[in-house]
Amino acid sequence: MFNHEKMAEIIREKGIEQKALAGKVGISEAMMSFIVNGLKEPSLTVLGRIAHELGVTAAELIIEE
C-alpha cells in the first residue's frame, strides 16, 4: 500500500512544489494531487519516478502491513 502521508512529508521537507514534481514525473497536476492526498495510488512506474525525484527508494513510500 502506498504511503501518501510519507510522500507529502518528504515534499514539504524538501520544499518541492506538487506542480513541478508532477511535470518531472510525467503526470497531471490533478493526478499528483490525488496521489498526495491519498485518493489514488500511483502505478509502479509512477511510484518509481516519484521516488527517484524525491531522492528516496520506492520501498520508503510503501506501508508495510
Q: In this predicted model, what pLDDT tens digit does every residue of 17-56 receive, in sequence order? A: 999 999 999 999 999 999 999 999 999 999 999 999 999 9
Q: Which has the higher per-residue pLDDT, 65 or 39?
A: 39
Q: Whole-model pTM above 0.85?
A: yes
Q: Is the pLDDT of residue 10 over 90?
A: yes
How many whole angstroms separate alpha carbon 65 and alpha carbon 45?
21
Q: What's the distance, CA 31 to chain centroid? A: 10
Asked if 4 and 38 count as a contact pair (C-beta separation under 8 A), the reply is yes
pLDDT score, position 65: 59
